[in-house]
Amino acid sequence: SDGNTRLDMFEHISLMTLESLLKCVFSLDSNCQEKPREYIAAILELSALVAKREQQILLHLDSLYRLTANGRRFRKVCRLVHDFTDAAIQDRRRNLSEQGVDDFLKAKTKS
């Protein structure tokens, strides 16, 4: 009422966006807004690592960055994110092959 109240929506909107993308692209119900996952923590950590790297000009060189603790952590967390994405793709492919692409498309056009 006094105009000084702040509401930080960034995290909520980011999670909603991620959940929408996972649902639309992979038909994956992540429920990441209700129960945070290791995947989300990894994405946030990657963002922080990229921001730190941008602040130090010498770390723009991949060969130097790989030698730092942050560079090693970046690779590890990046692997986790890629593994999650690869698993989602494989799961989606398996579901499509079991259901049949034609049946899947017919069901989508009806809904």
Burial 95-104 (b: 16+ CB within 10 A, else e): eeeeeeeeee
pTM of the model: 0.70
Q: What pLDDT score does 70 carry?
A: 96
3 torsion bin: left (phi>0), alpha (psi -120 to 50), beta (else): left
Domain boundaries, the chain: 37-110
| pLDDT > 60? residue 1 | no
What Rg, from alpha-carbon coordinates, does the chain have? 19
